[in-house]
């Protein structure tokens, strides 16, 4: 309960505490796979994180890192989060330790390749970047269209050129799980692959 108060106290204006994506970086990593026998295409991308900009283009803290309350606000405000204390401890440990790596944004897009509109529930998105509480948990996919979840913030940063991300989806009473390998789009010398 104290962390919720902390999140509320940090924003005395009463405005929404979530960051507005004002200076998000280009996509640096990408992975994709097919679910439900090719009916749904899933694409995961990773880009460097963003902050709320102030006049002059600098973040709230004067650097490129989002506030920890912004990074963890989804998890801390999730009434069904069974790992609330673990999330709070992780937030406090990062606050004390600080992360030497830049924060990143993970995005999930789903495309309906079937023959009719469908609704897909996202049950799990889990990787070394975090075990995310995905919003919205269900996506309506019109025929041939793409729908995306809200950006998922990770304060942990990227430590390799490949990140396995476990994605578990549910559609029409069936569950399909895949581990999507999200790979760097750039070589070690910074050139695009």
Q: Measured between alpha carbons, how far is residue 58 from residues 13, 55, 73 in Å?
A: 19, 7, 21
The rounded distance, in Å, linking the Cα atoms of 154 and 147 is: 21
Asked if residue 192 belongs to a domain, the reply is no
Q: List the domain range (segments joined by +) for residue 154.
A: 2-184
> Phi and psi (nearest 5°) for 88?
-60, -45
Task: Return the pLDDT at 186.
Answer: 81
Asked if residue 190 belongs to a domain, the reply is no
Structural contact between residues 53 and 23, judged by C-beta atoms closer than 8 angstroms? yes
Q: Give residue-wise pLDDT tens across range 152-185.
A: 998 888 888 899 999 999 999 999 999 999 999 8
Asked if residue 135 belongs to a domain, the reply is yes
Spans of the chain below 50 pLDDT: 1-22, 51-76, 95-98
Asked if residue 189 belongs to a domain, the reply is no
Asked if residue 102 belongs to a domain, the reply is yes
Asked if residue 97 belongs to a domain, the reply is yes
Task: Return the pLDDT at 50.
Answer: 53
Asked if residue 172 belongs to a domain, the reply is yes
Residue 6 CB: number of other CB atoms within 10 A?
Answer: 14
Whole-number CA gyration radius for the chain: 17
| β-pair partners for 107 | 45
Beta strands in the chain (DSSP E): 27-35, 40-48, 104-112, 118-127, 130-131, 138-141, 146-148, 152-154, 162-171, 174-184
Number of domains, the chain? 1
Task: Return the pLDDT at 79.
Answer: 52
Asked if residue 85 belongs to a domain, the reply is yes
Instruction: Look at residue 26 and give its three-state secondary structure.
Output: coil
Task: Return the pLDDT at 13.
Answer: 42
């Amino acid at each position: 309960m104290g962390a919720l108060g902390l999140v509320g106290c940090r924003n005395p204006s009463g405005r929404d505490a979530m960051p507005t994506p004002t200076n998000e970086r280009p996509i640096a990593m990408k992975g994709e796979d097919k679910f439900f026998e090719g009916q749904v295409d899933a694409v995961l991308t990773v880009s460097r994180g963003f902050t709320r900009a102030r006049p002059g283009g600098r973040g709230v803290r004067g650097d490129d890192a989002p506030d920890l309350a912004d990074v963890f606000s989804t998890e801390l405000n999730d009434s069904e989060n069974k790992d609330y204390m673990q999330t709070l401890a992780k937030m406090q440990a990062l606050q004390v330790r600080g992360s030497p790596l830049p924060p990143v944004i993970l995005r999930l897009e789903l495309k309906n390749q079937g023959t009719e509109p469908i609704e897909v529930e996202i049950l799990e998105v889990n990787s070394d970047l975090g075990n995310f509480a995905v919003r919205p948990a269900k996506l309506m996919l019109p025929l041939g269209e793409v729908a995306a979840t809200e950006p998922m913030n990770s304060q942990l940063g990227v430590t390799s050129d490949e990140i396995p991300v476990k994605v578990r989806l549910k559609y029409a009473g069936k569950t399909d799980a895949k581990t999507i390998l999200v790979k760097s789009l750039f070589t070690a010398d910074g050139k695009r692959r």
